[in-house]
Amino acid sequence: MDTVKIINHLQQAGVDKYVVLMRHAARHFGAAESDPSMGLTEEGRQAAIEFGQGLPPEPPVRFFSSYIERCVETSVLIEQGLLSKGGMTKTNKIIDPLYVFFVNDLSKLNQIAYKMIGEDEWPQFVRNWFDGKISTELIDDAAQAAQTLLNSLLELLQEPSAYGGNICISHDWNLFLIKEFYLGLKPEDNEYIQFLEGVIIYEMHDAFYIINHQSEAKMLKLL
């Protein structure tokens, strides 16, 4: 609930619109760990509802997500939680930048990743990507991907209908990008991306800022 606490604090400080990039809720794992159809666990579903219940009921909140089922499900459940507390919402819209748009061959990349590393060493694989040690035939340049993703979030924040909250449900890969390039939080130095973990971007005094539970607010410096 650290992300919810920050959102409430920002609203109390006078921030009237924000965009959150966050990972989906806890999901099932199995032999096909990358299967897009892997849905949320019961604990994940309940956590998503409670996240929505913790959000400020005003101003209105718009929802966006990756097309992957677990992201859509998370978005729907957060909205349900917010509506149960009297909140006003605009139902989920799927947008491409919230998927792992930078991956060019997901099946082959997963095969290479799981051959190279164990679960505890996943941050090292991400570091190899960030350092340009993985072929761009498999995955795009990380800095460029981060900039594309950030630009998409800023566009949402600057739309005329952006007043209030803008919650974007995405994947751990996308969170790694934004944390590395805009918060200076390296995957090898921090905890793995948690379920429902988020980063928040907001505008204040004609400048854009980014914050999460591991970092103080920083003014965004575009790449």
pLDDT in tens, 39-85: 899 999 999 999 999 999 999 999 999 999 999 999 999 999 999 99
Domains by residue range for the chain, with CATH: 2-219 (3.40.50.1240)
58 closest CA partner among 16, 10, 21, 90:
16
Phi, psi of 57 (to 5 degrees): -70, -20
140: helix, strand or coil: coil
Contact criterion met (CB below 8 Å) for 142 and 180: yes
Model confidence over 146-180: pLDDT tens digits?
Answer: 999 999 999 999 998 888 999 999 999 999 999 99
* Farthest-apart Cα atoms in the chain, separation: 49
